[in-house]
Chains A and B, each alone.
Chain A
Amino acid sequence: MKPFRLNRTQTFIFLSLLPAVLLVFGFTYFPILKGIDVAFRNYSLFNLTDVHYVGLDNFRAVMGTPQFGTILKNTALWVIISLVFQFAIGFLLALLMRKGFRGRGIYQGFVFYSWALSGFLIGIIFRWLFNGQIGVINDLLLNAGIITERIGFLSDPKWAMFSVIVANIWYGVAFFAIMLLAALQSVPSELYEAADIDGASGFSQLFNVTIPYIMPTILSTVALRVIWIFNFPDLIYGMTNGGPAGSTHILTTYMLDKIIFSGDYGQASAIGIICIIILLLFLVFYMFATKAEKAGDF
C-alpha cells in the first residue's frame, strides 16, 4: 500500500474512534478519579467540613465488619446461580427460537419484556408477589395444595436469597436470549449443510458447528453479565433491602446502605473499589482461562 492510502486509513480510524473515546474518557474515567480519592478520605455527608485523608481506614472498616464474610458469600451465590440459569435458559430459548415459528415476534415481545423494566420496579413487583401474607405466589401454592402454610419468602433467611435470585433469573434471561439469538442468526447455513452431508446429529452439530462459531459472543456476553449481575443492587434493594438480618446483602447493596443510611461516601467508595478489584481479578482469570478458546474478544 502507498503511504498516502495508509494515511487516509489512519485518519478514518482516528475519526471513527474519536467520539466514543471522548465520551467514555470524559464522562466515565474523569469523574472516577475523584471518586477514588474519596475512598481514602473521611467523607461523610454528616460532616463535609472536614474531609481529611484517612489512609486505608475506610477499607479496614468495611472489611472488618462481621457481616463481610456473609456479604462475599451472598455476592458469589448471587452472581454464579443467576448467571448459570440465565445463560442456560437463554441459550436454550435462543436455540428453540432460531428456526422461527408462527407468532415468534409476539412470543419474543412477551418473554423479553422483563428487560424493559427497571431493576427497582421488578424488585417491588416481586416483593408483592412473594409477600408472605398477601402475596399471590403463596396463594397459588396454597390453592394447588403444594404447601399448607404460607412461606415467608422474603422474611425467612432460608428463602430470601432464593427469592431474589429467582427474580433476577426472571429478569436476565432475556439478555442472553437476545444476544445469542442474534449470534445464531449469523451462523452461515453452509456450515450446517456441510455438517448435514457429514451426517452429524443435532447434538454434534451444536457442539461442533454452532457453539464454536458463536463462541466469541458467548465469551463476551458471559463476562459482561458476570460484571453486570455483580453490579446490580437495584433488584435486591427493591425486594428485601438486604434483609432479613442482612441475609440478602451483596457487596453493592451494602454499598447503597452505606450511602443511604450512613451517608458515608468514603466507605461506600471503598466498597466500590473493592468491587472493581474483584472484577478485575475475575477478568484477568477469565481471559487467561479462555485464551485456549482463541476468544481474545476484549
Chain B
Amino acid sequence: MKKQWKIAGKAGKAVVLALYFIFMVFPLYWMVITSLKPRNEIFALPLQYWPKHISFENYVQIFKISKFQIYLGNSLFISLVAAAIVLVVTILSGYVLARFSFRGASQLMLAFFITQMIPLFIGFSTLYMMMSRMGLLNKQASLILMYTVGLVPFCTIMLRGFFQRIPSSLEEAAMIDGCSRLSALWRVIIPVMMPGISATFIFAFVQNWNELFMAIMFIDNETSKTLPVAMNSFITKFDIDWGSMSAATVLSVIPTVILFAICQRFIVEGLTQGAVKG
C-alpha cells in the first residue's frame, strides 16, 4: 500500500514539474525558434512552430552590426562586480544585525525595508545631479555604485534571516580556538551559509543583469552600454525588430541558466553542511 502511494506521489511530482516546465519554457522556445527563422519568415502566417529554414542571420546581425559581444561583456562585468561588492557589504551588515542587539538595530532594519517602497524616479533628478557632481556620469562605476545601493537593503534583510538560523555556538567555538570574529565568520559561518549566499548572489546578479532605467540615463557612450539598453534599441518607431530581439533574448538568458546550474552545486553542498549540530 505504502509503496503504491510513493509511486503515485513520484508520478504526481513529475507531472507537476513537467507542466510547470512547459509553462515556463514556452516563451523561451518561441524566442529560440523566432531567432532561428529567416527575417522574412518571422511574421509569416500561418505561424510556424518550427522554422522552415533554419537561419543564423539574426545572430550574425547582432554580433556583426550591433556589436553584442561588447554589451554582453559590459553587462557581465557590471553585474558581477556589483553583486560581489553587495555580498561583501551585506554579509557584514546582515551578520551584525543577526548576531547583536544594539540600540537602533530594529529602526535600521525598518529603514532598509522602507527603501523598497520608494519608487525609483522620486528623487531621480537629484541622484542624476549627484552622479554628475561626482563625475560618474557616463562611467560604468555609476551603475556599479547604484546597483550596489539598490541591493544593499534587500540582501541585508535576506542574509540576516539566514544568519539567524545558524547557531552562534558555531563561531563561538571557533573564537575560543583563537580565531578573530572576522575569521570565524569567514571560515566557519560562511561555508555553512552557502545556500543562502548563493541565492542572494544569484538574486543580486540578476537584478543588475536586467536593470534598464539607470543604464539608459547614466551611460551615453556606445562602448559602455549594457545589454538591456542595447536590446531596447531594437524597439523602433515602426516595429520591434523581433529577429534581433529574440536572438538577443536567447543570449541574455544563457549566462543566468549557467549561473543557476553552477550555484546548484553550492546549494547542494550547503545542504550537507547545513545539517551540522543543531
B274 touches A108 (CB 8 A): no
Known: A23-B149, A179-B199. A134 touches B258 (CB 8 A): no
Q: Name the B residues within 8 Å of A222 (CB-CB).
A: none
User: 7 other contacts beyond A113-B28, A279-B117, with CB at 8 A cut-off?
Assistant: A13-B96, A20-B89, A24-B112, A27-B127, A110-B28, A111-B25, A134-B45
Residue-wise, chain B 267-278 has the 8 Å CB interface mask toward A (1 for contact) of: 110110011001
B130 in the interface (beta carbon within 8 A): yes
Residue-wise, chain B 249-264 has the 8 Å CB interface mask toward A (1 for contact) of: 1001101111011001
Known: A28-B115, A34-B123, A279-B117. A116 touches B252 (CB 8 A): yes
Known: A27-B130, A139-B46. A117 touches B249 (CB 8 A): yes
Assembled-state Cα–Cα distance A92/B30 (Å):
26
B90 in the interface (beta carbon within 8 A): yes
Residue-wise, chain A 51-83 has the 8 Å CB interface mask toward B (1 for contact) of: 000000000000000000000000000000000
A285 in the interface (beta carbon within 8 A): no
B260 touches A96 (CB 8 A): no
Q: Name the A residues within 8 Å of B23 (CB-CB).
A: 170
Q: Name the B residues within 8 Å of A255 (CB-CB).
A: 119, 121
Assembled-state Cα–Cα distance A145/B18 (Å):
23
Chain B's nearest CB lies how many Å from the CB of A170? 7
Give the tally of cross-chain contacts (CB within 8 A).
256
Closest to B270 in A: A185
Q: Name the B residues within 8 Å of A24 (CB-CB).
A: 111-112, 115, 149, 152-153
Known: A12-B181, A105-B264, A259-B121. A228 touches B199 (CB 8 A): no
Residues of A within 8 A of B (CB): 9-10, 12-13, 15-17, 19-21, 23-25, 27-36, 38, 89, 92-93, 96-97, 100, 104-121, 124-126, 128-129, 134, 136, 139, 170, 175, 178-179, 181-183, 185-186, 188-191, 213, 216-217, 220, 223-224, 227-228, 230-231, 234, 252, 255, 259, 265, 268-269, 272-273, 275-276, 279-280, 283, 297-298
B256 touches A216 (CB 8 A): no
The A contact surface, by secondary structure, is helix
Which residue in A27, A30, A170 is a CB contact (below 8 Å) of B146?
A27
Closest to B267 in A: A185
Q: Name the B residues within 8 Å of A179 (CB-CB).
A: 158, 199, 203
B121 touches A182 (CB 8 A): no
B100 touches A9 (CB 8 A): yes
Known: A20-B156, A188-B278. A227 touches B27 (CB 8 A): no
A sample of 8 inter-chain contacts (CB < 8 A) reads A17-B92, A24-B152, A113-B260, A117-B252, A128-B242, A136-B30, A136-B47, A186-B195
B77 in the interface (beta carbon within 8 A): no
B124 touches A31 (CB 8 A): yes
Closest to A122 in B: B27
Known: A20-B90, A28-B149. A116 touches B206 (CB 8 A): yes
Q: Name the A residues within 8 Å of B124 (CB-CB).
A: 31, 35
The B contact surface, by secondary structure, is helix
Q: Lowest 3 CB-CB distances: which A-B pairs, in order?
A: A31-B123, A35-B123, A35-B122
B212 in the interface (beta carbon within 8 A): yes
B210 touches A118 (CB 8 A): yes
Which one, B50-58, B64-72, B217-225, B227-235, is touching chain A?
Answer: B227-235
Which residue in B148, B165, B257 is a CB contact (below 8 Å) of A110?
B257
Q: Name the B residues within 8 Å of A23 (CB-CB).
A: 89, 148-149, 152
Q: Name the B residues within 8 Å of A30 (CB-CB).
A: 123, 126, 130
Residues of B within 8 A of A (CB): 13, 16-17, 20-21, 23-25, 27-28, 30-31, 43, 45-47, 89-90, 92-93, 95-97, 100, 102, 106, 108-119, 121-127, 130, 145-146, 148-149, 152-154, 156-158, 160-162, 164-166, 181-182, 195-196, 198-199, 202-203, 206, 209-212, 228, 231-232, 235, 240, 242, 249, 252-253, 255-258, 260-261, 264-265, 267-268, 270-271, 274-275, 278
A275 touches B149 (CB 8 A): no
Chain B's nearest CB lies how many Å from the CB of A226? 10
Closest to B17 in A: A96
Q: Name the B residues within 8 Å of A16 (CB-CB).
A: 92-93, 95-96
B109 touches A298 (CB 8 A): yes
Assembled-state Cα–Cα distance A96/B156 (Å):
28
Chain B's nearest CB lies how many Å from the CB of A150? 12
B210 touches A125 (CB 8 A): no
Closest to A112 in B: B260
Q: Name the B residues within 8 Å of A268 (CB-CB).
A: 121
A121 touches B249 (CB 8 A): yes
B149 touches A27 (CB 8 A): yes
Q: Name the A residues within 8 Å of B21 (CB-CB).
A: 107, 110-111
B16 touches A92 (CB 8 A): yes
B123 touches A116 (CB 8 A): no
Known: A129-B30, A269-B122, A272-B119. A283 touches B113 (CB 8 A): yes
Known: A178-B199, A224-B157, A298-B113. A120 touches B232 (CB 8 A): yes
A220 touches B164 (CB 8 A): no
Q: Name the B residues within 8 Å of A228 (CB-CB).
A: 116
